[in-house]
Structure 1
C-alpha cells in the first residue's frame, strides 16, 4: 500500500506541519489590524487571535447622537474582526501551502 518507509515519512511530515501550525497560532497575537468608520472618527484595532486591542473615538463624535456613535463602533469592530480573520487565515495558508484547500480549522 505504501512504499517502504512511506507511512513513517508521511507521519513525520504531518508532525512537522502540526508543529509549524502550532507556532503560527502562537504568532497570531503579533498580527495587528486596524479598521475605522465614520471617516476615521472611530478606530478599532485587533490582533490575529480576533481580540480587540484598542478602540479610539474622536472627541468630535461625542457631540453627535449616541445611536450614531454606537453604529460607528459596531461597524469598525466588525471590520477589524474580519481583517483579523483574513490575516489569520493568510498566516495559516502560508504554513500549509494551500494543502488543506477549503478546509477550515475550528477557531481560525
Structure 2
C-alpha cells in the first residue's frame, strides 16, 4: 500500500478524533414557551443545563411545564446533533463516513 495513502488515513483519523473530543466543548441552546424553559446541550449530546423561568412554575399545571421541558430538551438535542454533524464533516473535509455520528 502506498505510504502516502497510509499517512493521509492516519491524519484523517487524528482529525476525526480531535473533532470528537472537541464536541464536549461545543454547545447548542434551545428554548420553549417563549423562553420559559431554556436548555443547553453539548455537542456530544449531554444536557449541560436547564433553566426554568419562575413564571413557568405553577403547581396547578405541572403538565404544561413538563411539556415545555420536553420540547426544549428535544430541540436542544436535535440542534446538538446538527452541530456535531457539521463539526465532524468539517474535520473530514466533507467526506460522509458511515457510523461517525
TM bracket (short chain): over 0.9
CA-CA distance at 1:32 after TM superposition: 1.0
The aligned residue for residue 91 of structure 2 is: 95
Task: Note the residue ranges of structure 2 that are not aligned, 5 or more in a row.
Answer: none
The aligned residue for residue 18 of structure 1 is: 13
Say how many residue pairs are matched: 100
The aligned residue for residue 8 of structure 1 is: 3
1:76 aligns with 2:72: yes
Q: List structure 1 segments (4+ residues) > 3 angstroms apart after TM superposition.
A: none
Describe the superposition over 1:37-96 as per-residue Cα deviations: whole angstroms up to 9, x where unpaired. Answer: 001000010110100000000011112610110000000000000011101100001011
Pick the structure with greater CA Rg: 1
The separation in 1 between residues aligned to 2:99 and 2:94, in whole angstroms, is 11
Question: What RMSD in Å do the two structures reach over aligned CA positions?
Answer: 1.3
The aligned residue for residue 61 of structure 1 is: 56
1:49 match: secondary structure: coil
Task: Note the residue ranges of structure 1 that are not aligned, 5 or more in a row.
Answer: 1-5
The aligned residue for residue 44 of structure 1 is: 39
**TM-score with structure 2 length normalisation?**
0.92
